[in-house]
Each structure stands twice: as C-alpha cells, then as structure tokens.
Amino acid sequence: MSSFWSAWIIVLTLAFLVGIIWLLRWNMTNYTGIKEGELMDHEFDGIVEINNPMPRWWMILFWITIVWGFLYLALYPGLGNFAGLLGWSSSNQDVRSLEESKQATEAAREAGLIVEYDRQIDQAEEKFGPVFAALSERSIEELSQDPEAVKIGQRLFIQNCAQCHGSNAMGGKGFPNLTDDDWLYGGTPAAIKQSLIAGRNGMMPAQSQFNEQQITELATYVISLSGRKVDPELAKAGEANFAVCAACHGQDAKGNQALGAPNLTDNIWLYGGSQDAIEETLRNGRNGVMPAWKDILGEDKIHVISSYVYGLSQD
C-alpha cells in the first residue's frame, strides 16, 4: 500500500474513533437544564417526556469498546501500513512479496512475526498429513469401497469441488455431472486423478464458417443423433457439414476422450440440449476450464478425492 493511502486510512480511522468519543461525551452532558428524572417540556398525545439519560452500565460498555479499539489498533494491523506491535499477520503474502521462496514462512517466524494462517496449516498438516499419506498408499478402487475413506473424500469434495459440481456432484450447466458414468476425459481412476492434478481445458471452437441456416441445419442433425425427432430435411442438410465436427467428435459422433470431445449420441448435454442451446454452442463456441489442484491440495488429498469421485459413478 502506498504511503498516501496508508496515511489516508490512518487519519480516517482515528478521526472516526475521536468522533465517537465526542458523540458519547455530548450525549452524556445534560444541556436541558432539567435534572435527571424530572419532566421536560415535550408532550405528545398526552405523554410527557422525562429527562432520562442512557443507563450508566451502557455508557461504560461504550467506553470499554472505544478503549479496546485503540488497543487493538496498537497491537494488530489496522492502521494502514502499520503492522501492529505484535507483528501479527493472517498470512505470509506480504512476506512473500519481499522474498518469493519456500522459506518465506520460516523467515517470517525468525523475524518474530506471527503468521497465523500458516501456523494453522502446519498444525493441520502435522496432524492429518500421515493419515492422507497412508490412504494414498492404497488403490483408488479400494478406497472407493472403504466407508471411512469415502467420508473423508466427500468432505474434501464438498470443501473444494462442490462450488462447481454441486454438493451432490450432479453438476449444472457447464459443469459435468460426476455421477452418471459419462466422462469427457475418461472415468478410470487414473483419468480422474489426472484431471484433478493437472486440470483440463476444453475448447469447442465457434463454427463461424457456417451461416445461420447452416447452423440451424447442423444443430438439427446433432439433435437427431441422440434419437430425438427432428425435421428430416434439415437434419439431412446438416449431415453434410458434420464432417467438420467429426474431426473431434468422430464419424460416429461418440466423442473422443483424448480431446475431451463429448459423445453426441447419448442425449447428455453439458451446456443444454435444446435447439437454441446447441445453435449457440455452434455459433459462439464453448470454453470449459477445470483448474489444476496439485499445488492447492497435494497428491495425497487428490488421491482420496479421486476415489470418492470414482465411486460416485460405480453405484
């Protein structure tokens, strides 16, 4: 943070606290000239107001919170670039900006900083690391049949994968259903684990070489591949242009897992199987990204998640 914005935050924060003190003192002062508990001149609908100030215990609590606010800002980060007298930090990101290396956390500790987030991570790794290491020694197929391993894998899945695939792993538009044995890149234990480790980048190019009529014809033919009723003349016209699609999806339109090209004959649609949705896919293309998790979770946890995902389609 620049010196200007740091000073700006410090001034605003302290001014706000000083303003609270002034407001509190103003409310504690009797400007009416009427003693506490006596009637005032205000009357509404037959009700006369009494000069009744805020309870003293309430005022004391206000003063305690103000003092705590100043104490907190002195000990912990909160005033711009001032790190606080304790040198506490929720993460080691600031340290890494000075030293981008794996020794950043240790450097912070040697400097006397309390890197709370990293300390919690280390504690969790010390406690659970051996558990995941032991599980990773067993095969994915075996773990998928172990109820305890499945529970661990499910918790990891909900924490890291449910945001896209849903807590029930049934996905949504643009996010694959992991329970139906329909796999873009393969549903073997090795393929699932590879998807998690390295991620996937799927790309359906826009078919800009076709005009709108040809897009409609081609979409109609694609719909017919899954056995749905369509206009036969439109489908026949679209079949002639399917050769462009066959390069990825195959002449039989059953897809290619090496490329992540979906099967077009099973009536399972990642982005929707309506005429409009398929035309939109052909017209604009699609780009699907599955992030790599190796550097986030590590291979041992990925091994356990892989066993959970593999088991979902085996039931």
| pTM (global) more than 0.75 | no
Nearest one of 182, 195, 180, 205 to 282, comparing CA atoms: 205
Query: Which pLDDT score, from 0 to 100, does residue 98 have?
Result: 39
Amino acid identity of 247? A
- Mean pLDDT for each 10-residue chunk of the chain (315 residues)? 87 94 88 80 80 85 95 91 80 46 56 64 87 95 96 96 95 94 95 97 94 97 96 96 95 95 95 96 95 94 97 87
Query: Which pLDDT score, from 0 to 100, does residue 99 have?
Result: 44
Nearest one of 103, 74, 99, 76 to 87, comparing CA atoms: 76
Query: Which pLDDT score, from 0 to 100, does residue 96 have?
Result: 44
Q: What is the CA radius of gyration of the chain?
A: 32
Query: Which pLDDT score, from 0 to 100, does residue 175 have?
Result: 95
Query: Which pLDDT score, from 0 to 100, does residue 117 have?
Result: 66
> How far apart are alpha carbons 174 and 164 in whole angstroms?
9
| CB contact at 8 A, 81 and 2 | no
Query: Which pLDDT score, from 0 to 100, does residue 282 have?
Result: 97
